């Protein structure tokens, strides 16, 4: 988005993909650590660490196989749409930008489905997956945080805050700001468990948080986006209506839908949407009507394509939980340790 468009206006939050990533990183930090601040369990933490990579890798790998199929069998769809629209993003398979010696293949996609979590630069088959390396290492980071904060000398509130702030400083010095939202989510989870009264927000506090959110999401500045993500998390937890909605059936369904939708929507854009746009452009239709038709089609196909991934999650996650418990019983993990309330 360039100057003169939606950037630097509140409307930019509706198209700010970088802002959405910052929020979901903060949400991951919160969700992954919440139960450990409620009651620390060494065996549960070990299970969370062991299953984190396979938990993400199977659905991610399947999306990359689909990406390989598009590159092998439907390459003309996004190329033709890019030629008509002049979109450099489409022309590079949603911003990937292949090297000259790149040859797509299913075996290469399967290999990259593991490497995409370990090193940057392996998201050629689904450009959205550049975030996976940060999601994986960010998860390990916050798991390490809760383990450190469970140690007896570090259980007090001041020590927990200091540890989080020290990690933020290290990330800033190392220019690894993508990990800061995870740390922010972990700290919010700690206070949500130990100081819930802080989330009983006064109307003035709600107003300030909304302003921070709108201002932050109106830019692509990393620091502003981190502040906006934190403000969004606090609003969702501190506004009773939002907390009830997101904690009920609606929130559960959105949670189940979000990751599958994230995996498929770019693939839909470079295949079905691009093919539809190319076909409709050949008719004497107003450009806005073509765009609206393609927008509706994108949502319908993306939601439909997300359903098999949602069904996979319902089978894969329970099975993985069983296998992880069996593995930890085999290696004889220690019993649970309680984490007392912070003083």
What's the rounded mean pLDDT across residues 160-185?
96
Residue identified by tokens 């239709």 is: 285
Q: Is the pLDDT of residue 263 over 60?
A: yes
* pLDDT value, residue 59: 96
Tokens standing for residue 25: 């990183």
Top-confidence range, 15-24, 222-231, 255-264: 222-231
User: pLDDT category, 285, cuts 50, 70, 90?
Assistant: confident
pLDDT of residue 100: 84
**Mean pLDDT confidence for 244-271:** 84
Q: What is the pLDDT of residues 82-95, one digit of tens each?
A: 999 899 999 999 99
Position 125 pLDDT exceeds 80? yes
Mean pLDDT of 308-322: 95
Instruction: Report the pLDDT averaged over residues 284-300.
Output: 90
Instruction: Name the residue among 262, 274, 263, 281 with its Cα closest to residue 298.
Output: 274
Transcribe 275-313 into DSSP letters.
Answer: HHHHHHHTSS--HHHHHHHHHHHHHHHHHHHHHHHHHHH
Phi, psi dihedral angles at 312 (to 5 degrees): -60, -45
Q: How much is the pLDDT for 338?
A: 47
Average pLDDT, the chain: 89
Are 30 and 193 within 8 A, CB to CB?
Answer: no
CA separation for the pair 119, 115 (Å, rounded): 6
Q: What is the pLDDT of residue 99?
A: 85
Percent of the chain whose pLDDT exceeds 70: 92
Of 77-86, 167-176, 204-213, 237-246, where does mean pLDDT reach its minimum? 237-246
pLDDT in the model for residue 244: 72
Q: What whole-number distance in Å separates Cα of residue 97 and Cα of residue 93?
A: 7
- Concatenating the DSSP letter of every residue in 167-228 gives HHHHHHHTT-GGGHHHHHHHHHHHHHHH-GGGGS--HHHHHHHHHHHHHHHTS--HHHHHHH
**Does pLDDT of 198 surpass 70?**
yes
Segment holding 157, helix H or strand E: helix 157-173
Which residues are CB-contacts of 264 (< 8 A; sequence separation ≥ 6)? 63, 66, 302, 305, 306, 309
Query: Bigger pLDDT: 272 or 331?
Result: 272
Q: Rounded to an integer, what distance in angstroms lies between the CA atom of residue 32 and that of residue 185?
A: 9
Largest CA distance in the chain: 72
* pLDDT at 307 exceeding the cut of 70: yes
Gap between the Cα atoms of 137 and 171, Å rounded = 13
pLDDT above 60 (res 295): yes
Query: Would you place residue 154 in the very low, low, confident or very high pLDDT band (cuts 50, 70, 90)?
Result: confident
Contact 77, 275 (CB under 8 A): yes
| Residue 343: pLDDT over 60 | no
Q: Which of 194, 186, 182 is nearest to 148 (CA)?
A: 186
Report the pLDDT averaged over residues 135-159: 91
Whole-number Å distance between alpha carbons of 31 and 26: 9
Of 122, 128, 93, 88, the closest CA to residue 108 belongs to 122
Q: Average pLDDT in the 263-290 region?
A: 92
Each domain of the chain, given as residue ranges in start order, spans: 10-251+320-330
Q: Note the helical H segments in 13-41.
A: 17-38
**pLDDT band at 339, cuts 50/70/90?**
very low
Using CA atoms, how far apart are residues 148 and 160, in angstroms rounded to an integer?
9
Query: For residue 4, which phi and psi values (nearest 5 degrees)?
Result: 95, -10
CB 267 within 8 Å of CB 304:
no
Residue 342 confidence class, pLDDT cut points 50, 70, 90: very low
Q: How high is the pLDDT of residue 318?
A: 95
Query: Would you state the structure tokens that stand for residue 185, as one six-digit string?
Result: 């989510």
As a residue count, the chain comes to: 343
121: helix, strand or coil: coil
Q: Predicted confidence band at 245 (pLDDT cuts at 50, 70, 90)?
A: low
For the stretch 214-243, pLDDT in tens is 999 999 899 999 999 999 999 999 988 777
């Amino acid at each position: 988005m360039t100057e003169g468009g939606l950037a630097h206006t509140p409307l930019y939050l509706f198209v700010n993909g970088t802002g959405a990533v910052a929020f979901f990183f903060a949400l991951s930090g919160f969700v992954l650590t919440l139960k450990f601040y409620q009651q620390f369990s060494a065996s549960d933490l070990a299970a969370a660490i062991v299953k984190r990579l396979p938990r993400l890798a199977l659905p991610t790998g399947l999306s990359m196989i689909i990406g390989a199929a598009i590159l092998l069998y439907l390459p003309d769809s996004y190329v033709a749409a890019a030629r008509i629209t002049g979109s450099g993003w489409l022309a590079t398979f949603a911003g990937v930008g292949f090297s000259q010696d790149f040859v797509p293949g299913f075996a290469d996609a399967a290999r990259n489905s593991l490497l995409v979590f370990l090193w940057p630069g392996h998201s050629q088959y689904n450009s959205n997956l550049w975030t996976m390396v940060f999601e994986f290492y960010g998860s390990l980071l916050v798991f390490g945080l809760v383990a450190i904060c469970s140690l007896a000398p570090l259980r007090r509130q001041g020590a927990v805050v200091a540890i989080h702030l020290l990690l933020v400083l290290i990330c800033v010095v190392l220019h690894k700001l993508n990990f800061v939202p995870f740390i922010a989510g972990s700290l919010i989870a700690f206070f949500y468990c130990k100081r819930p009264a802080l989330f009983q927000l006064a109307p003035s506090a709600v107003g300030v948080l909304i302003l921070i959110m709108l201002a932050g999401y109106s830019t692509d500045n990393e620091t502003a986006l981190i502040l906006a993500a934190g403000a969004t998390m606090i609003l969702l937890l501190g506004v009773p209506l939002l907390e009830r909605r997101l904690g009920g059936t609606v929130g559960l369904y959105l949670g189940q839908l979000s990751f599958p939708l994230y995996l498929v929507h770019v693939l839909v854009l470079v295949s079905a949407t691009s093919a539809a746009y190319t076909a409709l452009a050949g008719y004497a239709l107003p450009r806005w009507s073509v765009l609206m038709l393609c927008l509706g089609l994108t949502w319908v196909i993306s939601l439909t394509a997300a359903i098999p991934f949602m069904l996979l999650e319902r089978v894969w996650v329970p099975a993985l939980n069983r296998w992880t418990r069996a593995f930890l019983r085999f290696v004889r993990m220690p019993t649970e340790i309680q984490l007392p309330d912070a003083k």
